[in-house]
């Protein structure tokens, strides 16, 4: 799908690197067809050995002729950077622009390009780097069905991907965008429990991580409700139900749900609109 086309990744930070590395590793695009940029030359030099594709500091040069532009800078920088590119004529060839900037609407980005650009907003997450990402995409006013299909195809190669209305994007950011961080904390906490009870740290971490992975796959692959799968583990008068009561005493569910709500609210303010 991207064969013989060029992709510009503007902002090759944590997510830009995850997406570029994921696409190259998946064989979707050759490394020499990816052009990354960062703002500082020192950062360019620092990451040069970490990625298989070229990284520079010239956004205009990277964007000219690119079929797809992935906008991966911090949210507050996104619209201003697009305006600079539009003013320099670097978007005159009308590339598909895919923005992953949290909290930045397609409307704000379209305005920055004088309403001439085709914009798709996407919310991926860091597991895209290993092909286990979750991405939601939403099309802007000028995005065509083909643009949305192109975005979906890109993110399908990096994990799961689906389309939603843009009104849900901040919630998506709070759930699957920020979610890996919540799950890492949960894995760390589970493993601390094992360490507390005498397991070596590395063993406890492996047990916790594989348990989270296995449980996640059970939900995705059986299609059963998580509560029904939980019931399968809880033998009457057994150890699991005792532990679940302790977790309920600590308000585990509402703490996690409120975490998503807080992240979604925070995402809504990131674009500075
Ligand atoms: N982190 C996540 O898990 C995640 C998940 C989903 C979406 N996102 C979104 O992804 C975007 C990037 O997040 P991140 O965590 O990857 O941030 P990050 O690691 O701080 O990366 C930002 C990158 O943008 C570069 N940059 C800044 N201004 C630039 C400019 N004018 N031209 C070119 N490059 C520029 C920075 O370069 P310098 O270092 O040289 O300044 C840096 O490489 C954000 O909009 C965020 O909302 C992040």
Rounded to two decimals, the pTM is 0.94
Instruction: Pick left, alpha or beta for residue 94 (phi over 0 → left; psi -120 to 50 → alpha; otherwise beta).
Output: left
- Distance, CA 13 to ligand 1 centroid (Å)? 5
Q: Evaluate whether residue 113 is within a structural domain.
A: yes
Probe target for ligand 1 pocket from 17, 38, 62, 270, with the most ligand atoms within 8 Å of CB: 38
pLDDT at 1: 67
**Are 206 and 160 in a shared domain?**
no
* Total domain count, the chain: 2
The CATH number of the domain where 132 resides is what? 3.40.50.720
Q: What's the pLDDT at 272? A: 61
With contact defined as beta carbons under 8 Å apart, do 23 and 53 qualify?
Answer: no
Together in a domain, 158 and 196: no
3-state secondary structure of 119: strand
Helix (H, G, I), strand (E, B) or coil at 55: strand
Write the burial class of residue 4 (CB in 10 Å: 0-12 exposed, 13-18 middle, 19+ buried): exposed
Burial of 249 (0-12, 13-18, 19+ CB in 10 A): exposed
What is the spatial distance between Cα 137 and Cα 148, in angstroms, rounded to a whole number? 7
Do 98 and 194 belong to one domain? Answer: no
Residue 40 Cα to ligand 1 midpoint, Å, equals 12
DSSP code at position 198: T
**Residue 123 within any structural domain of the chain:** yes
Q: Residue 74: inside a domain, yes or no?
A: yes
Query: Which residues line the pocket of ligand 1, CB cutoff 6 A?
Result: 10-16, 37-40, 43, 59, 72-75, 77, 81, 100-102, 123-126, 177
Report the SS3 class of residue 71: strand
Compute the mean pLDDT over every residue in the chain, rounded to the nearest whole number. 95
> What is the Å distance from ligand 1's center to 167 Cα?
23
Give residue 2's pLDDT band: very low, low, confident or very high (50, 70, 90): confident
8 three-state secondary structure: strand
H or E stretch at 120: strand 118-123
pLDDT in tens, 263-272: 999 999 887 6
Map residue 135 onto helix, strand or coil.
strand
Is it the case that residue 7 has pLDDT exceeding 90?
Answer: yes
What's the chain's Rg over C-alpha atoms? 21
Q: Does residue 176 register a pLDDT over 70?
A: yes
Identify the pLDDT of residue 185: 98
Average pLDDT over residues 195-207: 98
Q: What percent of the chain has pLDDT over 90?
A: 92
Atom 38, ligand 1: residue with shortest CA distance: 39
Q: Which atom of ligand 1 is nearest to the CA of 270?
A: 47
Q: What is the pLDDT of residue 171?
A: 97
Start-to-end CA span in the chain (Å): 34
If you average pLDDT over residues 34-45, what whole number do you get? Answer: 97
What pLDDT is stored for residue 273 in this prediction?
54
- Is residue 98 domain-shared with residue 196, that is, in the same domain? no
Same domain? For 189 and 242 the reply is yes
Ligand 1 mean position, distance from CA 12 (Å): 7
pLDDT digits (tens, 9 = 90+) for 120-159: 999 999 999 899 999 999 999 999 999 999 999 999 999 9
Residue 3: pLDDT band with limits 50, 70, 90: confident
Angle at 120 between CA 115 and CA 125, to 5 degrees: 145
């Amino acid at each position: 799908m991207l064969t013989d086309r060029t992709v510009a990744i503007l902002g090759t930070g944590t997510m830009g690197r995850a997406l570029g590395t994921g696409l190259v590793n998946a064989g979707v695009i050759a490394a020499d067809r990816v052009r990354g940029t960062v703002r500082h030359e020192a950062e360019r030099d620092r990451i040069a050995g970490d990625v298989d594709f070229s990284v520079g500091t010239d956004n205009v040069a990277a964007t000219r002729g690119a079929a797809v532009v992935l906008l991966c800078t911090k949210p507050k920088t996104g619209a201003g950077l697009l305006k600079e590119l539009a003013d320099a004529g670097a978007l005159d060839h009308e590339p598909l622009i895919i923005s992953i900037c949290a909290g930045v609407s397609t409307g704000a980005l379209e305005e920055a390009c004088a309403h001439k650009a085709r914009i798709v907003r996407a919310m991926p997450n860091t597991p895209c780097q290993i092909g286990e990402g979750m991405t939601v995409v939403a099309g802007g006013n000028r995005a065509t069905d083909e643009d949305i299909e192109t975005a979906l195809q890109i993110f399908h190669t990096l994990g799961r991907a689906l389309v939603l209305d843009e009104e849900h994007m901040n919630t998506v950011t709070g759930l699957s965008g920020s979610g890996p961080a919540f799950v890492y904390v949960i894995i760390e906490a589970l493993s601390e429990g094992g360490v507390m009870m005498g397991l070596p740290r590395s063993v406890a971490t492996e047990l916790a991580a594989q348990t989270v992975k296995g449980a996640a796959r059970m939900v995705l692959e059986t299609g059963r409700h998580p509560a029904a799968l939980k019931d399968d583990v809880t033998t009457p008068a057994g150890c699991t139900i005792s532990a679940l009561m302790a977790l309920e005493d600590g308000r585990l569910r509402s703490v996690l749900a409120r975490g998503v709500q807080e992240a979604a609210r925070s995402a809504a303010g990131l674009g500075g609109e």
